[in-house]
Chains A and B, each alone.
Chain A
């Protein structure tokens, strides 16, 4: 298993600003993923972060808006840039080891944009 922490746990931000969310895993993992979730709804994948290469973004998400870093095998960041109220959501990171078919989630970051 893996234990994942996220910072911040929640934030209230003003329109037009940017927020960087940090995701730390307690052990080395192959893949890290970033998701967005509206309360009570399912998860939407934003991008896949592979160490040593650029993140792979899903349709509807672009690097300029959601830049991602993956500097090593235990850490990743997601930045939400030039925020608008439509970016208000819960942002979740997860980590996975291919060999175990398992995926573990952080507690999420609740973002409110005013």
Chain B
């Protein structure tokens, strides 16, 4: 069974602080995605990383995929109240039928205080 553990589970910080969220697994994934979800809405895709060691930047957000494609991190610089939400990582795995599916991490709830 493929599992994705995220840490920390909860994070409350002041505006302007930096933070890192971790997503770890013992399984190898073909790709890994990060999402942000706000109450009452579906998750919104932030980024997909595909290559081991890959680093992607999206404004103040930096995403890294581990060399072995088993883990990933999300770093936010100078957090803002608009960054508040539930952050989810999701790894892509393959089914025996040849199709694929996504396994979601345990989630990190972030609150940024003004």
Contact = CB atoms under 8 A, between A and B. Distances in A.
Interface of A: 4, 31, 33, 35, 40-45, 48, 50, 53, 56, 59, 92, 94, 96, 98, 101-108
B74 interface: no
B31 A105 contact: no
B92 A101 contact: yes
Given A43-B43, A108-B42, A31 B106 contact: no
B48 A102 contact: yes
Interface string B97-113: 10111111111010000
Nearest to B101: A48
A42 B104 contact: yes
Contact of B104 (A40, A43, A48, A50): A43
Contacts of B109: 40
Q: Give the interface SS of chain A, mostly helix, strand, loop or mixed.
A: strand
B42 A41 contact: no
Nearest to B109: A40
Interface string B11-47: 0000000000000000000010100000011111100
Interface residues of B, number: 27
B76 interface: no
Interface of B: 1, 31, 33, 40-45, 48, 50, 86, 88, 90, 92, 95, 97, 99-107, 109
A75 to B, nearest CB: 17
Contacts of B102: 33, 45, 94, 96, 103
Most A Cβ at <10 Å: residue of B33, B42, B48, B95 = B42
A105 B44 contact: yes
Contacts of B107: 41-42
A56 B92 contact: no
A70 to B, nearest CB: 12
B99 A105 contact: no
A98 B92 CA distance: 10
Contact of B42 (A48, A59, A107): A107
7 contacts: A40-B86, A50-B97, A59-B1, A92-B42, A101-B33, A102-B33, A108-B40
